[in-house]
Structure 1
Amino acid sequence: MLNNLRLSAKFNLLLLAAFLICIIFSGVTLSVILNRNTESQTVSKAQIMLQTMNSIRNYTSTQVGPQLAPRIEQEAEFLPQTVPGYSAREVFEHFRTQKEYADFFYKEATLNPTNLRDQADGFETELVQRFRNDTNTKELTGFRSFTGGDLFYIARPISVSKESCLRCHSTPEAAPKSMLATYGRDNGFGWKLNEIVGAQIISVPSQDVINSGRQILLFVMLAVCGMFAIAILVVNLFLRFTVIKPLNQMAQVAHDVSIGKMDTEFKQTSHDEIGVLANAFNRMKLSLSMAMEMLNNPE
């Protein structure tokens, strides 16, 4: 089949094959790089926000809690501002009022929470159970699907690391009366020291970063296709004027010589392979002309 094709068609097929191989290879390579970059950006955002929430928790535990602790016993209404998890959640909800962070989520998902808004759902319960089953696991990451798109999450275990936590979470009898009046006696009790009771989870949207990566991939692929199209055009023009046209001219001269037009000349000024072929062809034509003359004039 290839033997029946013109030389230019063979070159174009070769260039097209090389083009397809390069497109596939560059597309796969660039896709992997962009996916890694997307994940890196998303992880960086999540880690920064998680560290921010931990700083708020620490500040509440060391600065706010001790200052408000006496009021918990004196006042009838419980002060949730003394709870590190509550402070972190409230600050984060205020943070989400900004449009660009509206799809970010933070939750201290707990199996048996005092405040039911911290109740772990099915997915979060699985994460907590994984932490409980393997206490050496300090962090879990992955993607979770929501209505608005995929969210990248980072989850870390929440454990009862201080005995002071048991004051509010051991038994209803030991808990402050103001807390019982606010949240009741049914939830948030029975915790044990060093027990993993929940997971600190922060979720950040990854769809925008993914879409941005896809746009970059599309732009690069279009640019590569454009460059290859220009390269194919340039190669075809070069091939036409340096190879195809001289060969066609030699073929025409050979045809003229075959019908007796010995005065036909082929001029080639290049010194490449085509020039060498042209010189050899002209020498052959000269030799043929001399031989024909000797045959016509034997004397």
Structure 2
Amino acid sequence: MKSIKSKLLISVGFIVLIFSTILFYRTYTLITSNVKNLTNQQLSLALNFDLAIREYVAANIRPLMFNLLPEGKFKPETMSTSFVARHIFNKVQTKFPDYIIKFSADNPRNPVNQAGSEELNMIKYFNENPQKKVWTGEINIGDKSYFAKFSAMRMEKSCLRCHGNPADAPAELLEIYGSKASFNLPLGETIGLDTIAIPKEKVTALFFNDAIKNFTLLGGGLFLLCISLVFILKFVITDRLSRITEHFVHTEEKDGVVEIKPIDIGGRDEITTLTNNFNKLANRLNDYYTLLEEKVEERTKELSKANEQLKKEIEERKQAETMLKRSENTLKSIFKSAPIGIGLVTHRILGWTNNQFQQMVGYSQDELKGKNARILYESDDEYERVGFEMISQIQKSGTGTVESQFKRNDGHLVDILLRSAPINPVDFSEGRIFTVMDITQTKLMQDQLIRSERLAAIGQLAASIAHEINSPLQAVTVMLGTLKKNYRDNEALSNQLELLKGAFSSIRDTVKNLLDLNRPGKEVKQSANVNKIIEEIINLFQSHFKKNKIKINLDLSSNIPDINASPLQLNQCVLNLINNAVEAIIGTCTSKSGSIAEMPSGGRIAIETNFNKGKIIVKITDTGPGIPKEDLQYIFDPFFTRKKKMGMGVGLSISHRIIYDHGGFITGENLPQGGVLMTITLPAN
């Protein structure tokens, strides 16, 4: 464990280190900035001095000389800005031999002013960037590095007399320099540079001299600061704290209850206040020790008595926990083995649920827990209706019962009876226990019973109507046959009589269909195989399927047993379902003239058989448009049809009656991906 002295020294050292780093870095940046600024000022001063000389010669001396001298005379010593500036700076350069102060051009009149490769690059730079007048930076000239400043000299109108057309130049200028160098220069082009350059090594030497002086001064100051801080920490804080620590350690090492001695620390600061308060606290503790011994003896007697009471309470609690555990196990067994769904819901958020509920809705516990009960309903309206009805009943009677439908995870709907009661009738936020009973089969049986009663009533009515129609119909049919025989030579009349006979035959078939609603059970039952019946129908209508481009997929189980049934009736039932599937796939469309034509597109019909738990299950699916949702509950009702110009709407009613008379049931539903699934369930026995 590190002492406070070490921690303080480390902390102070760390702070001093950070402060020193910041200070040294700031000093370095200031020195760098100062040297850079100083160098830039020197370059600017020299360049401005050069430009001022040129400007003075061009603006004052040269015009005066042109006025004083005869026409055609030219004296470069007073009239050439480059000549005057170069001779002045040659004298200055004797004091600064390492500095570069010059004028340079690509095609100068004086070879001394010929630009080097670096200066030619700068002339090119200024020509490519006409908005630039000055460039400052680091550059290599020859084999040395310089801090340099270049100023572009561009061709202006005032320069045309000496640098434009040679014919316009003074005659003496042509005698001195000739007519080729620095003539015919275009306006705006960079014709030369004024260059000021300081060797980098001079700037670096200046930087290091300043840095050594400043860093030496800073290092000495920081060293004195560290020595002062160490002295203050040692004699004012750490030594006094060490005495207090030694006193605490010495007192702690003694065994048993001992008297705490006071600490003697001089001074009038916070540490002295701390020791004085400690001494007062020690005196109070010494007094408490004496009082505590008396209290301990008294409390020991009370604890012994309380301990006996606690043993008794522990024994009673163990018995209660055993009974609670038994009750919990009983409830778990009921929860798991209950034939209905059970669960907890809080503010319509699902909590725990039993396996029966999870199987009922097709979700796992993890998929249900924490989810809103909305996932179990087909629509928002149904979700809101059930919630409102349930809360209303609970507020009135303490429990609620609502009949609804749950949407399984696979999309199928399940008819359910939902009951619910709150855990705490006063506070609904603690949740409600609910039970769910699957009443799909119950409702199916009720619908079948109602439909059977309706079919029986319709069948009786149909039998009465058939009796009244068949007698005169038979007489009319015989009369038509006689008339056709007597007038067989009259072809037109015979054709008309044949049409009448066909119409009356259609009436007879319609009456027969009505009678079949009430007497399908009259057919003789014998051993029959569902797979064989299906295969015979498919083979019989193979050309019809091919014509309408319909593919048939058969998946017939080899485990299907023979059953005691009417092959003719089962054949009629399956044929009705397949015919409906074909009509749904090819569809119908009404033309502008009102005629009905089959759609040219094809589709697929899948027929599957299975044997499961003593039941034969036949599933027929198609890829048609499906049945409107509002029509699903009426498809097995007699005379219900959406085929406006064909069919009576008794096919599915007859099929339903046939399956019912064989002890089974038939259902229809839309598939999520489109199409209809018709399911026949027949008992094997």
> Shorter-normalised TM-score: what interval?
0.7 to 0.9
Contact 1:92/1:106 (<8 A) preserved: yes
**Counterpart amino acid of 1:158?**
M
Residue of structure 1 in register with 2:85 after alignment: 88
Partner residue of 2:129 out of 134, 138, 142? 134
Distance 1:16 1:263, change over 3 A: closer
**Two-structure CA RMSD over aligned residues (Å):** 3.6
Partner residue of 2:184 out of 176, 190, 212? 190
Residue of structure 2 in register with 1:111 after alignment: 106
**Counterpart amino acid of 1:221?**
F
Partner residue of 1:212 out of 185, 203, 206? 206
**Counterpart amino acid of 2:163?**
H
What secondary structure is seen at the aligned counterpart in 1 of 2:36?
A: helix
Contact 2:20/2:222 (<8 A) preserved: no
Contact 2:260/2:286 (<8 A) preserved: no
Residue of structure 1 in register with 2:65 after alignment: 67
Partner residue of 1:125 out of 106, 120, 125? 120
Distance 1:58 1:294, change over 3 A: closer
TM-score scaled by length of structure 2: 0.37
How many residues matched?
A: 287
Residue of structure 1 in register with 2:391 after alignment: none
Query: Is 1:26 matched with 2:20?
Result: no
Residue of structure 2 in register with 1:153 after alignment: 148
What secondary structure is seen at the aligned counterpart in 2 of 1:23?
A: helix
Residue of structure 1 in register with 2:244 after alignment: 250
Alpha-carbon deviations, 1:150-184, whole Å to 9, x = none?
53322222122235x44443466665665556545
What secondary structure is seen at the aligned counterpart in 1 of 2:185?
A: coil
Partner residue of 2:94 out of 90, 93, 97? 97
Cα distance between partner residues in 1 of 2:270 and 2:218: 32
For residues 205-244 of structure 1, the aligned pairs below 5 Å read 205=199, 207-244=201-238
Partner residue of 2:7 out of 10, 13, 35? 10
Cα distance between partner residues in 2 of 1:19 and 1:92: 51
Cα distance between partner residues in 2 of 1:268 and 1:147: 77
Query: Is 1:276 matched with 2:273?
Result: yes
What secondary structure is seen at the aligned counterpart in 2 of 1:107?
A: strand
What secondary structure is seen at the aligned counterpart in 2 of 1:126?
A: helix
Distance 1:171 1:294, change over 3 A: closer
Cα distance between partner residues in 2 of 1:222 and 1:232: 16
Contact 1:80/1:86 (<8 A) preserved: yes
Residue of structure 1 in register with 2:295 after alignment: none
For residues 251-266 of structure 1, the aligned pairs below 5 Å read 251-257=245-251, 258-259=253-254, 266=263
Alpha-carbon deviations, 1:219-255, whole Å to 9, x = none?
3333333333222222222222222222222333345
Cα distance between partner residues in 1 of 2:105 and 2:219: 52
Query: 1 or 2 for the larger relative contact order (CA 8 Å, sep ≥6)?
Result: 1
Cα distance between partner residues in 2 of 1:59 and 1:65: 11
Structure 2 alignment gaps of length 5 or more:
293-685
Residue of structure 1 in register with 2:42 after alignment: 45
Cα distance between partner residues in 2 of 1:63 and 1:255: 97
Distance 1:30 1:71, change over 3 A: farther
Contact 1:168/1:176 (<8 A) preserved: yes
C-alpha displacement of 1:118:
1.4
Larger relative strand fraction: 2
Contact 2:93/2:101 (<8 A) preserved: no
What secondary structure is seen at the aligned counterpart in 2 of 1:34?
A: helix
Distance 1:228 1:208, change over 3 A: same
Partner residue of 2:163 out of 153, 163, 169? 169
Cα distance between partner residues in 2 of 1:286 and 1:147: 89
C-alpha displacement of 1:92:
0.2
Cα distance between partner residues in 2 of 1:174 and 1:138: 28
What secondary structure is seen at the aligned counterpart in 1 of 2:46?
A: helix
Structure 1 alignment gaps of length 5 or more:
none
- Percent identity of the aligned residues? 21
What secondary structure is seen at the aligned counterpart in 1 of 2:147?
A: strand
Residue of structure 1 in register with 2:196 after alignment: 202
Partner residue of 1:267 out of 236, 243, 264? 264
Greater CA drift, 30-39 or 142-151: 142-151
Distance 1:148 1:231, change over 3 A: farther
**Counterpart amino acid of 1:138?**
K
Greater CA drift, 111-120 or 85-94: 111-120
Computing the radius of gyration over CA atoms, which structure comes out larger, 1 or 2?
A: 2
C-alpha displacement of 1:195:
2.8
C-alpha displacement of 1:119:
1.7
Alpha-carbon deviations, 1:264-297, whole Å to 9, x = none?
76311234332233224434554566688999xx
What secondary structure is seen at the aligned counterpart in 2 of 1:191?
A: coil
Distance 1:230 1:59, change over 3 A: closer
Contact 1:56/1:88 (<8 A) preserved: yes
What secondary structure is seen at the aligned counterpart in 2 of 1:144?
A: strand
Contact 2:106/2:114 (<8 A) preserved: yes
**Counterpart amino acid of 2:100?**
F
